[in-house]
Amino acid sequence: MGAAAALVTVGDALAAAIARLAAAGVPEPRADAEVLLARALDTTRVGLVVAARRPLPETAARDFAALVARRAAREPLPYIVGEREFWSLLLTVDRRVLVPRPETELVVETALRLAPAARRILDVGTGSGAIAAALARELPAARVCASDLAPGALAVARANLARHAPGVVLVCGDLLAPFRAAAFDLVAANPPYVTDAELGGLAPEVRDHEPRVALAAGPDGLAALGRLVAEAPRVLAPGGWLVVEVGAGQAPAVRRLAEEAGAERRQAARGESRAGVGLGRAAHAAREFDRSARSARAPDGPPAELDTGRYVRVEVVRDHAGIERVLALGLGGGGWTRS
């Protein structure tokens, strides 16, 4: 076949790609095909309109075919183009991290509204570094720490934070275990919250490509949330806030876990022994954590015995679809938080 016969126009190549992506079940085939073709041609989506009748150069055609094949295999578009915007910050993303979602900006918004004076902030399960970068941008006087269990995620976060918020400190560890008592005014998190049963029914983009450790949270989806709610009163200073994203329908259960944790902490403080009798998961975690915190606290940290805080304020925030998406739990005893 001669070279002239092999060349198709930009417009024809786009139409063929849209059809292929649609056949593969991609939800927005036109928009995605345009982004990928613009990338292959190193132009903009408007540039595609201008070039519609021109022949597509061979190298661009090859690049475009490879990009379309990845998207047809339902790889998320942000992984293919290597970036995603969050809070107006352009973040590098790849398959080591969850693609930051627009609804997670509600975590940032809620944290800024409830704890505008926070000076010590933790983004736990930072993934790409999205929440930490946004909070560090908005609260430049704060010291921000970002943690994750996954070394791959931390590598991505490191690159993003170096670009957008170089002062953020990165820590590798399991949820709140690495941190000393009363270390933070604000803990923000978008933890894994997908139930085992839901995993198989997720869109292929999520189920087959995003990291399992960023999604899976046990039979009820509350494994990480329960531990966070139970353990946060230890690492929060009096008056501090825990602001967490939750899955659709999970807010009431997380709220109950917070109440359980509070009740259990009060009973533990009174020295009542309830070992093994009807304790909730969160309460068990809190008790276990308290034990280890007492022996493991940093020498310069406040004594773990100060850890009598309990949640006295609860706020549930809905997303634009009306789904309860963010839960904010405020500890008692603070002087600076807004009520």
Contact residues toward ligand SAM (CB under 6 A) are 97-98, 100, 104, 125-128, 130-131, 147-150, 153, 174-175, 190-192, 213-214, 224
Minimum distance from residue 286 beta carbon to ligand SAM (Å): 16
Q: How many CA atoms lie within 13 A of 252 on its CB side?
A: 1
Report the residue number, 19 or 248, with the smaller CB distance to ligand SAM. 248
Residue closer to ligand SAM by CB (options 153, 293) is 153
Please report how close the Cβ of residue 19 comes to ligand SAM at its closest, in angstroms: 32
CB closer to ligand SAM, 192 vs 334? 192
Contact between residue 324 and residue 251 where contact means Cβ atoms under 8 Å apart: yes
Question: How large is the C-alpha radius of gyration of the chain?
Answer: 23
DSSP state of 302: P
Min CB(337)–ligand SAM separation in Å: 23
CB of 70 to ligand SAM, least distance (A): 21
Is 21 or 168 the residue whose CB approaches ligand SAM more closely?
Answer: 168
Task: Give dist(CA 155, CA 111) in Å, integer.
Answer: 25
Q: Which is nearer to ligand SAM, 164 or 310 (CB)?
A: 164
138-143-144 Cα angle (round to 5): 70
Beta bridge partners of 241: 186, 330
Interaxial angle between packed helices 29-40 and 58-72, expressed in degrees from 0 to 180 and rounded to the nearest 10:
140
Asked if residues 228 and 308 have their Cβ atoms less than 8 Å apart, the reply is: no
DSSP state of 104: G
Q: How far is the CB of 111 from ligand SAM (least distance, A)?
A: 12
d(CA 24, CA 261): 46
Question: CB 84 → ligand SAM: shortest distance, Å?
Answer: 9
Q: For residue 231, give the nearest of 169, 310, 302 by alpha carbon.
A: 310
CB of 244: closest distance to ligand SAM in angstroms?
11
Closest to ligand SAM by CB, 172 vs 263, is 172
Rank residues 98 and 257 by Cβ distance to ligand SAM and give the closer one: 98
In 3-state terms, what secondary structure has residue 239?
strand
